[in-house]
């Protein structure tokens, strides 16, 4: 029986785009004692795969941590299944602030030692002795108390694009790093200060609050449901948002806007910007903040070195990557001397700019082909037409994880190496492009 994902990201993207179904992105977590995590994992896959659930889920003997998406039509069937599991019955589901049908492209359920890598010895303290949960209104009120210290238990690349005003934002790359740093920094305030903590969805604070109570902190509080639930309550109750900027999320969106404040800068030019990107060089994949102008000029790369590499033939790029360790020394989160405007640690609360209002209009499109090659010197992209046809004058969309979503009109077309006006299924087509394409890119025709 199939217990793993079999479709590529490209195939899944095409299915989602052609289905016409709206998808919901959501998350949840639960600490519980699971005797057989592997069996539990397999049962989830068998139940969720037919519901077209996609996402990243971690299962351990201590519980489950899930970020996923599914067709909106299947939401209640999915919820009914969760209710059949005793420790997941009536669990709160954190629905994303901003929705994207392509937030996840495969279903991955992994068995781990822990659902969050916290580095703690759970046997050394009572993990159930947690801090007091606060809703958005009470959290806002406690923020106004001069005896309150608010701490962001996320990583530096998360807090840089958005955080609560006045929060301590540790300069760390992992959750486990933040625990001893915060303990030492606040050692003198265990008795007389309110320790107020928050994270994305609440799971990191569940363990952190118990750890800090064990370490002698008397007044420990945590934001219920994290930033995601806080934002929902702020909107539902018409409260002031004390969180400014974007909330970083661990899916293809890389962030959802909470307020119109832009509090970060493009790491390359310093322009106000809070859009994360991954370097297009497959041997780098550095996560950093990049504005649209730098994205176009640098072709989604973090440095001139990476820009030069992506213009090499694919075989030469593979040769350069061969044998290179692909661990944390390469896939760093915004830690590079090449990024002149990187900020972490102490962050300001003053907005550098206001985000433009997003224009939401659903474009009707149909998938007709895929990317094959890019010729950087000539600035020409090559595609294979897999279905339908493409004509001079057609409006198209080129879409991919690195390319983003680019719209343009085909002015000149070459079909199988010759000038032509129309390409059909099986044809190789080329036309001028001001940006680099990749093998994962899809070619869509906009339907008028």
Question: 254, 248 in Cβ contact below 8 A?
Answer: yes
Q: What would the two tokens of residue 170 be?
A: 């540790």
Choose the catalytic residue: 199, 266, 273, 284: 199
Whether 199 is a known active-site residue: answer yes
Terminal Cα-to-Cα distance of the chain (whole angstroms) = 43
Nearest C-alpha neighbor of 349 from the set 446, 245, 224: 245
Distances (CA, A) of 161 to 38, 259, 352, 444: 37, 11, 11, 32
Strands of 307-441 (E only): list them.
Answer: 353-354, 365-375, 380-385, 389-391, 395-400, 404-409, 413-415, 418-420, 422-424, 428-432
Q: Which residues pair with 272 in a beta bridge?
A: 265
Distances (CA, A) of 302 to 143, 268, 289, 307: 37, 8, 9, 8
Question: 108, 5 in Cβ contact below 8 A?
Answer: yes
Q: What is the CA radius of gyration of the chain?
A: 24
Q: Which residues, 6 or more positions from 128, have their beta carbon under 8 angstroms from its beta carbon? A: 210
Phi, psi of 433 (to 5 degrees): -135, 135
Run of H or E including 207: helix 203-214
265 DSSP 8-state letter: B
Collapsed DSSP state (helix, strand, coil) of residue 271: coil
Which amino acids are annotated catalytic? 199
């Amino acid at each position: 029986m199939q217990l793993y994902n079999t479709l590529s990201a490209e195939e899944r993207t095409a299915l989602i785009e052609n289905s016409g179904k709206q998808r919901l992105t959501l998350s949840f977590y639960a600490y519980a004692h699971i005797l057989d995590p592997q069996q539990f994992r397999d049962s989830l896959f068998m139940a969720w795969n037919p519901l077209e659930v996609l996402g990243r889920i971690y299962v351990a003997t201590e519980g489950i941590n899930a970020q996923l998406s599914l067709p909106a039509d299947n939401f209640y069937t999915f919820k009914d299944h969760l209710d059949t599991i005793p420790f997941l019955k009536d669990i709160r589901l954190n629905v994303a602030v901003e929705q994207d049908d392509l937030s996840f492209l495969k279903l991955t359920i992994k068995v781990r030692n822990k659902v969050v890598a916290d580095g703690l010895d759970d046997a050394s303290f009572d993990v159930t002795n947690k801090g007091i949960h606060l809703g958005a209104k009470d959290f806002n009120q406690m923020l106004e108390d001069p005896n309150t210290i608010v701490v962001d238990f996320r990583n530096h690349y998360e807090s840089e694009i958005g955080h609560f005003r006045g929060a301590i934002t540790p300069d760390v790359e992992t959750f486990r790093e933040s625990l001893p740093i915060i303990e030492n920094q606040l050692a003198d305030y265990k008795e007389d200060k309110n320790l107020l903590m928050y994270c994305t969805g609440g799971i990191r604070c569940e363990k952190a609050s118990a750890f800090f109570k064990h370490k002698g902190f008397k007044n420990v509080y945590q934001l219920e449901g994290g930033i995601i639930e806080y934002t929902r309550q702020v909107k539902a109750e018409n409260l002031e948002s004390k969180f400014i900027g974007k909330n970083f999320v661990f899916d293809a969106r890389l962030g959802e806007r909470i307020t119109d404040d832009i509090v970060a800068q493009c790491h390359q030019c310093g322009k106000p910007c809070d859009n994360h990107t991954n370097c297009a060089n497959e041997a780098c994949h550095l996560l950093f903040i990049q504005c649209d102008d730098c994205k176009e000029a640098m072709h989604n790369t973090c440095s001139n070195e990476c820009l030069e590499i992506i213009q090499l033939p694919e075989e030469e790029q593979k040769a350069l990557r061969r044998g290179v360790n692909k661990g944390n020394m390469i896939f760093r989160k915004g830690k590079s001397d090449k990024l002149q405007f990187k900020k972490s640690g102490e962050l300001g609360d003053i907005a550098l700019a206001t985000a433009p209002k997003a224009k939401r209009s659903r474009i009707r499109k149909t998938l007709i082909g895929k990317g094959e090659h890019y010729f950087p010197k000539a600035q020409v992209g090559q595609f294979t037409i897999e279905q339908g046809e493409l004509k001079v004058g057609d409006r198209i969309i080129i879409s991919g994880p690195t390319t983003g979503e680019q719209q343009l009109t085909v002015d000149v077309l070459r079909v199988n190496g010759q000038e032509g006006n129309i390409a059909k299924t099986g044809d190789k087509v080329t036309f001028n492009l001001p940006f680099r394409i990749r093998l994962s890119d899809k070619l869509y025709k906009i339907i008028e």
